[in-house]
Structure 1
Amino acid sequence: MILPACREVDVKIVPAVFLVLISMQSIAKTVEDVRVDGLVQMPSARAFDVIGFDEGKSYDSDKVYQAINSLFNTGYFSDIDVYEENSILVFDVVERPSIGNLLIEGNDLINTEDLERGLKLSGLEVGEIYKPETLNQIAQELQRQYYALGRYSAKIDIVVEDMPRNRTGITINIDEGETAKIVHINIVGNKDFDDEVLTEDFESRETGYWNPFSSADEYAKGKIEGDINTLKSFYLDKGYLDFSVVSSQVSLSADKRDVYIVINVEEGAPYYVNDLSLSGSLPIPEDNVWKQITHKKGDVFSRSEVTRIIEGISTELGNNGYLFTNVNVIPEKLENHTVNLSYQITPGPKVYVRRITFSGNSETKDEVLRREMTQFEGALAVHSKIQSSKRRIERLGFFGSVNLQTRPVPGTTDQVDIDVVVQEQPSGSIQASIGFSDDDGLIYGFGISKSNFMGTGNRLAFNASQSDDYTSYSISYNNPYFTVDGVSRGVRFYYQVSDYDDDDIEDYQIDKKGVELSYGYPLSDTQNLTFALAVQETQIDISDDPSNETEFFTNTYGDNFDDLIASVTWSDNDLIGGILPTNGYSTSVNLRASTPGSDQQYYKIGLTSEKYWNINNSSLWLFHAKARFGYGNGYSDSEYLPFYENYYAGGVGSVRGYGSSSLGPQNSYDSSSDEESSAMGGNILMVGTAEIIFPLPMVDDHKSVRTALFLDGGNVFTDTCYSVSTNCTEGVETSEFRYSIGLSWTWITPIAPLSFNIAKALNPDDDDDTDFFQFRLGTSF
């Protein structure tokens, strides 16, 4: 620490008192006036108040001594002289300098705002009086904080400089050093379990452990304390009720880079359950409580199992209105290493909900939240209904977080208020985007959708997008609560022009326009049944040199169709997290068919299912699996599924790493044609993906950023080849499945959702078109 030369704190109490004693000649004198010279920072009124002398009152050496002490205790002064001048008592003071500038440099691990907040509490702030003794305390405290983070080589250097007008500039230079690495973790005293088993769930790892996204081998005091608690939990879950951690030591190498950790333990022996009993008041049938107790006589005691049992009993009573149940377990250890467990239950009175309030929903109307509540005001408070309400609000996808808090009503024992606190997140998007793939080239257009239109919970969407292959316009509106019972109604108008003219799909153009009306009926909290009816006109314009298949289809069935298409969809959706789900599942089954009397007779059946699993109970490490299956065919007078209704595979949303819509059956041409075969799709779709979602270490906001390693697989097939086809093979051949691996990255930016996919095709055929990279940029609000 570097300190400048400055006026030393010369109290001069003894000389001052000596002067007073000489002037008074040890006799009390009357003060005609008091004067304070040298004040700059302290207001004179406060100085006179601290001194405490009144005009016309006598003073003696004791009063002067007390006044001097009081002035010094304010911290404002470094020097005080007292003398008498013409019956006036004069206090000549020298004030400490004030802090004119305060800089903190070199800190990355600890936020500057947090440091400034701590310095302020210590009195180190611009405008405050400079106190040199405070600097040593601050330097020591900063050093302790960095030690706790494993930065034993950190250095704190404080530079103090004089400034004009009796001010001082302070610069705190921080060299954070490097984090000490854990070289060895040694557990001493363990006999029944080896070190490898005991440290398996530790956050800390020895430096030989390698993970590019982990800092497990970096020492941190808090992390080791957590690992010791993990060790205790391990033994208690194995029945070792006498287990104890005797001591723990942390040793440093001479260069402060290596850490050696030793944990001394006493294991004891495992305990087994001898007897189980219930005590206290049981307002519900005893059998309902016993169903929650999974321990049996002779089982090894487990603290985690006991905790789960307590939660189960509390939930069972909470589902009967006893929301504030107190459940305790009293273990009685016996000499033969067995234990009696007595569950004490204190249910309290039945609780009713007085009021439900909502906060945090600045955009969403209260009624949108209230209609998702299965727990009602004035009704018995039921734990399962409260949890169900929370889940239903989360499934809306409008909120980043949802918390339901029960709050006792003051002055009552049987009433609670429920506070629903939400944090809104973007519920709309502009899909009009800049996109690119090696195969499709530039993709652009405009699309806007709002799942929470004007805070009503209704969905409004308009899309206008275009690429090298297609142009699409659609507008739709859906009201999820068309009736109070949750029946939804939606309407959609659409117009699509698909103009394929590339190496992967045959050259033809299809115009579709139509209108669709749908109604959805809730079957449960998560399940829904939707019926839809669409009137659609389809027009086909084939090229001058069509494939055998498209020419055969248009010659047989025509090129203009008016169809009435009905569909029914069953869905079960329990995904949580909105745009980037973190938990739950979703499954939907769809049947879509043209009705009798339409120009086309065909049907399509589709199944889509996905699920998220938390890895190690973390919402940041996830496993995600998704699969899609589809089958379609003609019926009645139509032998085939219309070729423009075929399924396609390859590209984003299918099998990444392969050209968009490039996989599957190929069309054929006459020998006189110059065209090469290209993908024509198929009436059977089988694709799936598996992803490991992981957090990036440099990212703080994981709700808007997602990174995943993926494995994609699948293809399209056909079981009804056209009679004119020469390249077609009927049936599903698993050997034709295509696979890819890669990395995906999605960022919900303030301006636009940005996604990248880098994929490597694992088993491409010589004729397959591969596509290594795609990105897309849209806007979220």
Structure 2
Amino acid sequence: MEKLANNSIKETKNPIQLFLKLLLLLLFTTQSFAQETSFEDGKKYILGGLTVTGLQSYNEQTVVTYTGLRVGQPITIPGDEISAVIKKLWSLELFSNVDMFYTKIEGDKIFLELNITERPTLSKVTVFGVKKRKVEDIINDTDLKKGKKITESLIANTKNYLQNKYKKQGYLNAKVTIATAADTTGTNTQSMVVNVKKGDKVKIRDIVFEGNEKLSDKRLAKSLKNTKKKKLYRFWKKSKYIEDDYKEDLSSLVDAYAERGYRDARILSDTFVKVNDKNIDLKITVEEGDKYYFGDINFVGNSVYTDRQLSQVLGIRKGATYNGVLLKERIADDSKPDGQDLTNLYQNNGYLFSSINPVEVSAVNDTINFEIRIIEGKETFLNHVTVTGNDKTNDHVVFRELRTRPGQRYSKDNIVRSIRELGQLGFFDAEQIVPDIINPDPNAGTVDINYSLVEAGSSQIELQGGFGGGGFIGTLGLSFSNFSLKNIFNGEAYKPVPMGDGQTMALRLQASRTFRVYSLNFSEPWLGGKKPVRFNLSLSRTQQFATSFDDRGRIDRDPDRGFSITGISTGLAKRVQWPDDYFTISHSLSYQLYQFDDFNNGLFNFGNGSSNSLSYTLGISRSSQGPNRIFPLSGSNFEVTAKFTPPYSLFRGKDFKQIREDIDEATDRLFEIGPNSTSPSEQIEFVELSDELERLEEERFKLLEFYKIKFKGDWYTQLVGKLVLRTNAELGFLGSYNNDIGDVPFERFFVGGDGLGNFTLDGRDIIQLRGYENSSLTPFSTNPITGNQERDGGTIYNKFSLELRYPLTLKPSASIYALSFLEAGNAFNNFNEYNPFELKRSAGVGIRIFMPAFGLLGIDFGYGFDSDATPGAVGPNGWETHFIIGQQF
């Protein structure tokens, strides 16, 4: 058997194999000389046959086919064909050795043998030194999957990747070792063990600055946002050393000088000194240079805007301290898509292809003169506007929210607004809405825009269970916020329900042994499909049953005694253009029928009969928060509503003054007798007066008349990064037209707790104020019939809160953010008792999780600094835990 030495030796990498091949070549040369057989360079043969040896897992015919060699083809030996085959096989990285031999020569035919050594296959990976939940991520990141061929480069790359990964996290002493061993469970397989020793995170013991005279060490240390030295009190910013963050902070340090006029400041050197395995010192040497000032700033090339207009936007005056960072931001603020800068000024008015460059034209002593050189370019118009990624949502639902239309003048502001509107729909992942500017044509002055969208879950299921209202409360709710009513009879559209037209359909059932609540809501945001006019229809039915306790102390329900509310409401809300197009004016009309059947538990003033409420609500709101409706970064939301009923007392023909006097007289007498009187005559009188009082109360509230004014405002301020401050203020007032009728027992304000209305029966508003029990800040009154202290709701309240929010993740599958809060508020019986500074205060922390299928979930831990409204309560209320389920954003 003869080896094709040239190619074999050339492709052999193992030094031992190379020595053996050279020895074999020497023997072969001696033998061939003795037999007087010569192997001429470049001789042509016909390939008589090709066999493959050394295979363990591959099919011989597959390898032969891959070589491209065919029996009967002419072949030159030695020649390029054999060299190309070997290189081709090596490139697969499937083999650790490739040799080509000839076995015999018959005339002009040559027979070859291809001997290969397969690389072992990875059978399993075991990772030590990391948490179990991190192992899968490591395997995926390094591609150490079963069936992977084990090569030297795979091992080296894996080792380097992991060591660099942990060094970036502050583990500068991280070491990774990788070992392989034969696995007898498979053919030519090996198992791999990855041992990670992260060691301790290397902390920064001290940061030393040298060469600084103009700026203090403290000021320079503050400019290093992500690189901090160890301090006992610092827990919000770690002191670990991360190289990428450190390099970025060095640029921030130079910017700190540039902001104060030292444009020539630079870092001469930066080093770190290893103190021990856990600590290092950083040493930064700077050269500050001289302080400079702005001189003349002239605009060149501008024709669309005057020098004065551009100067007003630039906002930099001659003689001001030189600030290179500010100048850059006023030219183009990359951190704010809607920033007030010169670039946005042009791009918001059609000049997409404009360019603006500040140029230092001269420096006299400490004064720098600038030219702002502007190339305005051609006015740009939109050619095509397209959307992609809306697999469920119909195109017309997306396009009607866009502020960009074909033929319009290009405006960056309109693109930013379109992103906000799409994010507010809730149908798409707000973090992944990308406007792609495509096919720009500076000569024609046209551009195309494509909005790339990622669908997010828009349907929710609400499942709740808890105790309240005298027993276990179960809730089932289904909400479809991208519903399609027109396809409700189209069987093929049920996936699982008809979707895509942006409508809202919500069904909710809440029940316990003592009450039931059913509701159906439908909303169409674009009634008629032409303008943003929202139509809303709501139906509801509430039943509350009378209860008592049996001999064992268990709650017993009486189905023949109870209270019910049947309600219907409809409304229209229109987005208007003045004062700006963030405003909405809404109108709604609602009717509620309250029915009592031998039901008097202190919530209301009578236990038999009915009340009717027909009301009109006018609302004015302005909503500009965004772009993500779950976690707004900026903007605000204001809402003022006024709810009115007709003043029935003007034309009912009733003497309500006399009715009120009779009620007061009966009430005083009932308090005088008391429900526990032992006198038979007083007991009879008490029952008669109770019946008379209920009759008078029903007469007074047969037709409810009231007005209700509410205000709520939320401001969102982005502080640093995605740290957001939410500021909230609320106020509500319930009034009456006729003092003789007084305030209605419905529609009142109940303050305190988690803000969730578990079983609101009477149109009440549940106001969140964490750190206190639910409704515990609501005033009490004494029921003259039962003698019990009852929370009957306040007629006026105010509340203020500050909430710091920080997102942990904003992925479509689950958005999570942490928060801390300060709150203060209170409720009062009437306006005469109202004191806006008599507030109940609280503070705490919490977390929110939004999952598309279940809505908003969360938990808060709040501490109440004051006593609640319970008679006799003193001292701070203390800690309360609040579970948040399905609350509004």
Counterpart of 2:779 (choices 654, 665, 669) is 665
The structure-2 alpha-carbon separation of the partners of 1:265 and 1:603, relative to structure 1 and needing over 3 Å to count, comes to: same
The structure-2 alpha-carbon separation of the partners of 1:410 and 1:89, relative to structure 1 and needing over 3 Å to count, comes to: farther
Q: C-alpha distance in 2, partners of 1:380/1:638?
A: 62
Residue identity in the other structure for 2:26: F
DSSP-derived class of the 1:667 partner: strand
Residue 498 of structure 1 and its aligned partner are, at CA, apart by 5.2
Residue 366 of structure 1 and its aligned partner are, at CA, apart by 1.5
Residue 590 of structure 1 and its aligned partner are, at CA, apart by 0.8
Q: How does 1:149-168 map to 2 (within 5 A)?
A: 149-163=169-183, 165-168=187-190
Residue 587 of structure 1 and its aligned partner are, at CA, apart by 1.0
Contact 1:601–1:638 under 8 Å retained in 2? no
Q: C-alpha distance in 1, partners of 2:85/2:823?
A: 82
Q: C-alpha distance in 2, partners of 1:421/1:630?
A: 43
Residue identity in the other structure for 1:460: M
Residues 186-214 of structure 1: per-residue CA shift (max 9 Å, x gap): 22221111222112142122122545554
Which position in structure 1 is the counterpart of 2:637? 586
DSSP-derived class of the 1:641 partner: coil
Q: C-alpha distance in 1, partners of 2:535/2:88?
A: 79
The structure-2 alpha-carbon separation of the partners of 1:443 and 1:325, relative to structure 1 and needing over 3 Å to count, comes to: farther
Residue 600 of structure 1 and its aligned partner are, at CA, apart by 2.6
Which position in structure 1 is the counterpart of 2:762? none
Which position in structure 2 is the counterpart of 1:649? 751
The structure-2 alpha-carbon separation of the partners of 1:710 and 1:469, relative to structure 1 and needing over 3 Å to count, comes to: farther
Between 1:192-201 and 1:37-46, the stretch displaced more is: 37-46
1:460 and 2:512 are equivalent in the alignment: no
Counterpart of 1:682 (choices 794, 797, 800) is 794
Residues 1-38 of structure 1: per-residue CA shift (max 9 Å, x gap): xxxxx995445342244245335549544667676663
Residue 591 of structure 1 and its aligned partner are, at CA, apart by 0.8
1:773 and 2:878 are equivalent in the alignment: no
Residue 296 of structure 1 and its aligned partner are, at CA, apart by 0.9
Unaligned runs of 5+ in 1: 1-5, 721-729
DSSP-derived class of the 2:228 partner: coil
Pick 1 or 2: higher relative contact order, CA cutoff 8 A, min separation 6. 1
Contact 2:860–2:882 under 8 Å retained in 1? yes
Which position in structure 2 is the counterpart of 1:264? 285
Contact 1:353–1:377 under 8 Å retained in 2? yes
Q: C-alpha distance in 1, partners of 2:289/2:352?
A: 38
Q: C-alpha distance in 2, partners of 1:144/1:428?
A: 42
Residue 444 of structure 1 and its aligned partner are, at CA, apart by 2.3
Residues 70-122 of structure 1: per-residue CA shift (max 9 Å, x gap): 599656354858677566676674515332425251375997677557756xx
Which position in structure 1 is the counterpart of 2:436? 405
1:21 and 2:29 are equivalent in the alignment: yes
The structure-2 alpha-carbon separation of the partners of 1:206 and 1:237, relative to structure 1 and needing over 3 Å to count, comes to: same
Q: C-alpha distance in 1, partners of 2:404/2:84?
A: 67
DSSP-derived class of the 1:317 partner: helix
1:283 and 2:304 are equivalent in the alignment: yes
Counterpart of 1:706 (choices 807, 812, 817) is 817
How many pairs are equivalent? Answer: 744
1:474 and 2:474 are equivalent in the alignment: no
Percent identity, aligned pairs only?
A: 20
Residue 668 of structure 1 and its aligned partner are, at CA, apart by 1.9
Which position in structure 2 is the counterpart of 1:422? 453
Residue identity in the other structure for 1:158: I
DSSP-derived class of the 1:622 partner: strand
Q: C-alpha distance in 2, partners of 1:242/1:541?
A: 85
Q: C-alpha distance in 1, partners of 2:71/2:140?
A: 38
Counterpart of 2:585 (choices 524, 529, 534) is 529
Q: C-alpha distance in 2, partners of 1:16/1:528?
A: 91
DSSP-derived class of the 1:760 partner: strand
DSSP-derived class of the 1:681 partner: coil
Contact 1:436–1:776 under 8 Å retained in 2? no
Q: C-alpha distance in 1, partners of 2:571/2:85?
A: 88
Residue 480 of structure 1 and its aligned partner are, at CA, apart by 1.9
Residue 230 of structure 1 and its aligned partner are, at CA, apart by 1.4
Contact 1:400–1:422 under 8 Å retained in 2? yes
Give the TM-score, by structure 1 length: 0.84
DSSP-derived class of the 1:658 partner: coil
The structure-2 alpha-carbon separation of the partners of 1:250 and 1:480, relative to structure 1 and needing over 3 Å to count, comes to: same
Q: C-alpha distance in 2, partners of 1:47/1:532?
A: 76
Residue identity in the other structure for 1:208: K
Residue 134 of structure 1 and its aligned partner are, at CA, apart by 5.7
Residue identity in the other structure for 1:534: S
Which position in structure 2 is the counterpart of 1:719? 830
Contact 2:170–2:201 under 8 Å retained in 1? yes
Residue identity in the other structure for 1:588: E
Between 1:732-741 and 1:71-80, the stretch displaced more is: 71-80
Residue identity in the other structure for 1:321: G
Which position in structure 2 is the counterpart of 1:45? 64
Which position in structure 1 is the counterpart of 2:717? 613
Q: C-alpha distance in 2, partners of 1:137/1:262?
A: 32
Contact 1:585–1:611 under 8 Å retained in 2? yes
Residue identity in the other structure for 1:217: S
Contact 1:10–1:78 under 8 Å retained in 2? no
Which position in structure 2 is the counterpart of 1:445? 475
Q: C-alpha distance in 2, partners of 1:393/1:118?
A: 33
1:600 and 2:623 are equivalent in the alignment: no
Contact 1:662–1:768 under 8 Å retained in 2? no
DSSP-derived class of the 2:746 partner: helix
Which position in structure 2 is the counterpart of 1:12? 20
Q: How does 1:472-511 map to 2 (within 5 A)?
A: 472-483=517-528, 484-497=530-543, 510-511=563-564
Contact 2:798–2:836 under 8 Å retained in 1? no
Q: C-alpha distance in 2, partners of 1:424/1:645?
A: 39
1:755 and 2:855 are equivalent in the alignment: no
Counterpart of 1:143 (choices 163, 174, 188) is 163
DSSP-derived class of the 2:743 partner: coil
Between 1:226-235 and 1:448-457, the stretch displaced more is: 448-457
Q: C-alpha distance in 2, partners of 1:629/1:460?
A: 30
Residue identity in the other structure for 2:857: L
DSSP-derived class of the 2:789 partner: coil
Residues 665-717 of structure 1: per-residue CA shift (max 9 Å, x gap): 321245xx764312221211112332222345x99889622322222321211
The structure-2 alpha-carbon separation of the partners of 1:589 and 1:70, relative to structure 1 and needing over 3 Å to count, comes to: closer
Residue 651 of structure 1 and its aligned partner are, at CA, apart by 1.8
Residue 449 of structure 1 and its aligned partner are, at CA, apart by 2.7
The structure-2 alpha-carbon separation of the partners of 1:118 and 1:368, relative to structure 1 and needing over 3 Å to count, comes to: closer
Contact 1:434–1:776 under 8 Å retained in 2? no
Contact 1:244–1:267 under 8 Å retained in 2? yes
Q: C-alpha distance in 2, partners of 1:666/1:138?
A: 69
Which position in structure 2 is the counterpart of 1:382? 411
Residue 314 of structure 1 and its aligned partner are, at CA, apart by 1.7
Q: C-alpha distance in 1, partners of 2:647/2:786?
A: 40
Residue 243 of structure 1 and its aligned partner are, at CA, apart by 1.1
Give the TM-score, by structure 2 length: 0.75
DSSP-derived class of the 1:595 partner: coil
The structure-2 alpha-carbon separation of the partners of 1:464 and 1:264, relative to structure 1 and needing over 3 Å to count, comes to: same
DSSP-derived class of the 2:325 partner: helix
DSSP-derived class of the 1:270 partner: coil
Residues 611-665 of structure 1: per-residue CA shift (max 9 Å, x gap): 22222131xx222222221111211475312012222212212222333223233
Q: C-alpha distance in 2, partners of 1:667/1:434?
A: 31
Which position in structure 2 is the counterpart of 1:567? 617
Contact 2:754–2:883 under 8 Å retained in 1? no
Residue 441 of structure 1 and its aligned partner are, at CA, apart by 6.0
Contact 2:753–2:775 under 8 Å retained in 1? yes
The structure-2 alpha-carbon separation of the partners of 1:657 and 1:28, relative to structure 1 and needing over 3 Å to count, comes to: closer
Between 1:512-521 and 1:218-227, the stretch displaced more is: 512-521
Q: C-alpha distance in 1, partners of 2:645/2:366?
A: 73
Q: C-alpha distance in 1, partners of 2:621/2:789?
A: 38
Residue 543 of structure 1 and its aligned partner are, at CA, apart by 5.2
The structure-2 alpha-carbon separation of the partners of 1:244 and 1:411, relative to structure 1 and needing over 3 Å to count, comes to: closer
Residue 313 of structure 1 and its aligned partner are, at CA, apart by 1.6
Residue 271 of structure 1 and its aligned partner are, at CA, apart by 1.4
Q: C-alpha distance in 2, partners of 1:649/1:501?
A: 25
Contact 1:20–1:82 under 8 Å retained in 2? no
Tell me how large the CA RMSD over aligned residues is. 3.9
